[in-house]
């Protein structure tokens, strides 16, 4: 007889989350891991995280509010300002030692790369339940590979193959969206991949009762995320330059990353220095204020498996214009809450931005309300419920739609 989620509620679990990227890294996967650890700890579970050190030195353990975090020895990546990786021959022994100490009931890996791969192998060797979530596309590696595109294509194919080899050993495999699951079917040959939203706390970005946030004197277009090659923020800057002058659009770019200097130079060359603001990394409170003051959110990235920042902007009742690529089409009902644009086409993007910004305030507000209503199915608590059931033995079949 098949068990149900209610049958599987039992004692607290010891959960080991293996994360190749984790705060202080700034990206969607790192943020998801932090929220997952926080949520599971709040539910009474004993949560441990394995992640790389943000600096040099041997493995160490730190007690944090969200979990016990074990920082493995890591090395800098010469082509990135802060990202670090763990080398297999330096971490395998520490991983085995930590398994002896932690004695996890379940392991949840967040990628098939260095830490995730060897945690899977160790868990399988010990007969421990494994859940694997994929947050990455091979394109995410491009900024770290100073090689010709043909070589990057080879790396991409190898990465897909390795994903299939590693994640096929998991008891349940998930990824944030149906399109991402389909990509894993096609390229990594993983047959059962459960689409499961990363989830957000939508209420964090809504106006509280009686709250007002003063708007700017000019309309604001915003981008939030890593300033990385695959985000194609240069296309957005070009598009702002091509919008009609009478709209007087200002662009706010939130985040840090390897292409920031090039983007600043681009804005200055296009005469946009006084209309493009680069905030760098900001606090959660400051980010909430950006969302609530924004008239239009744009995501030009072409390798998004979900885009948590887009969901956050939508939960703040903001219209969106998104690249017609990977998982982003799931977040747009064309003409209702925004538009899709042809990837890397700044003319099309400029036209879609102008179309929305020419609408009346009432029509733009209706678009924003439509965005807000679409976010309801991405609630974090529902995501945590599903993962908790999977940790206790729930299967792909239990949750597949």
Q: Establish whether the linkage from the previous residue to 92 is cis, with ω within 30° of 0.
A: no
What confidence score (pLDDT) does residue 145 get?
Answer: 61
- The number of CA neighbours under 13 Å toward the Cβ of 279 is 18
Q: What is the pLDDT of residue 281?
A: 86
Of the two residues 50 and 9, the one the predictor is more confident about is 50
Same domain, 184 and 240: no
Q: Please, are residues 172 and 181 in contact by the beta-carbon 8 Å criterion?
A: no
Could you read off the pLDDT of 286-304 as tens digits, one per residue? 999 999 999 999 999 988 8
Give yes or no for residue 143 having a pLDDT over 80.
no
Residue-wise pLDDT for 185-203, tens only, equals 998 899 999 999 888 887 7
Q: Degrees (nearest 5) of the Cα angle 266, 270, 272?
A: 90
Residue 226 has pLDDT above 80, yes or no: yes
Confidence (pLDDT) at 147: 62
Q: Are residues 241 and 131 in the same domain?
A: no
Count of domains observed in the chain: 2
Average pLDDT of the chain to the nearest whole number: 90
DSSP 3-state assignment of 257?
coil
- Please say if the pLDDT value at position 1 is more than 50: no
Do 346 and 394 fall into the same domain? no
Q: Which domain covers residue 360, as residue numbers?
A: 202-377
225 and 150 share one domain: no
Instruction: Indicate if 42 and 76 belong to the same structural domain.
Output: yes
Rg (C-alpha) for the chain, rounded Å, is: 21
Q: Residue 55 maps to which CATH number? A: 3.40.50.2000
Do residue 250 and residue 190 come from a single domain?
Answer: no
Helix-strand-coil split of the chain, %, nearest 5: 45, 20, 35
Are 153 and 281 in a shared domain?
no
pLDDT tens-digit map of 107-129: 999 999 899 999 999 999 999 99
* 163 and 144 co-located in one domain: yes
Do 386 and 270 fall into the same domain?
A: no
Residues 134 and 235 in one domain: no
pLDDT at 9: 64
| 262 shares a domain with 172 | no
**Contacts from 207-213 at CB under 8 Å and sequence distance 24+?**
207/292, 213/289, 213/292, 213/293
CB 224 within 8 A of CB 287: yes
For residue 260, pLDDT over 60 is answered with yes
Q: What pLDDT is attached to residue 8?
A: 59
Whether pLDDT at 216 is above 90:
no
Asked whether residue 358 falls in the same domain as residue 285, the answer is: yes
């Amino acid at each position: 007889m098949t068990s149900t989620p209610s049958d599987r509620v039992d004692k607290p679990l010891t959960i080991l989350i293996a994360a190749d990227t984790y705060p202080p890294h700034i990206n969607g996967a790192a943020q998801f891991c932090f929220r997952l650890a926080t949520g599971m700890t709040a539910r009474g579970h004993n949560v441990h995280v394995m992640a790389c050190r943000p600096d040099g030195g041997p493995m160490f353990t730190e007690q944090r509010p969200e979990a016990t975090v074990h920082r493995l020895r890591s090395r800098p990546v010469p082509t990135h300002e802060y990202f670090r990786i763990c080398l297999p021959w330096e971490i395998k022994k520490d991983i085995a030692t930590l398994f002896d100490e932690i004695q996890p009931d379940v392991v949840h890996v967040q990628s098939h790369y260095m830490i995730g791969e060897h945690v899977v192998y160790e868990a399988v060797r010990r007969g421990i339940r494994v859940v694997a979530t994929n947050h990455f596309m091979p394109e995410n590696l491009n900024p770290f590979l100073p090689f010709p595109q043909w070589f990057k294509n080879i790396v991409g194919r190898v990465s897909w193959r390795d994903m299939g080899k590693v994640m096929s050993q998991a008891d349940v495999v998930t990824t944030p969206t149906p399109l991402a699951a389909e990509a894993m079917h096609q390229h990594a040959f993983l047959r059962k991949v459960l689409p499961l939203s990363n989830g957000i706390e939508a209420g964090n970005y809504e106006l509280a009762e009686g709250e007002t946030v003063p708007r700017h004197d000019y309309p604001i277009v915003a981008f939030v995320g890593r300033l990385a090659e695959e985000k194609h923020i240069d296309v957005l800057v070009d598009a702002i330059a091509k919008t009609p002058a009478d709209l007087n659009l200002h662009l706010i770019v939130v985040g840090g990353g390897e292409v920031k200097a090039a983007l600043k130079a681009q804005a200055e060359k296009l005469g946009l220095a006084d209309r493009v603001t680069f905030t760098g990394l900001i606090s959660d409170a400051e980010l909430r204020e950006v969302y609530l003051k924004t008239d239009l959110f744009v995501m030009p990235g072409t390798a998004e498996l979900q885009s948590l920042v887009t969901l956050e902007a939508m939960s703040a009742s903001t219209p969106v214009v998104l690249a017609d690529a990977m998982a982003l089409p799931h977040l747009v009902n064309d003409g209702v809450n925004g538009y899709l644009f042809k990837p890397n086409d700044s003319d099309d993007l400029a036209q879609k931005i102008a179309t929305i910004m020419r609408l009346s305030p009432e029509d733009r507000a209706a678009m924003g309300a439509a965005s807000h209503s679409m976010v309801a199915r991405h609630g974090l608590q529902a995501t945590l419920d599903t993962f908790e059931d999977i940790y206790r033995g729930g299967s792909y079949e239990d949750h597949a739609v």
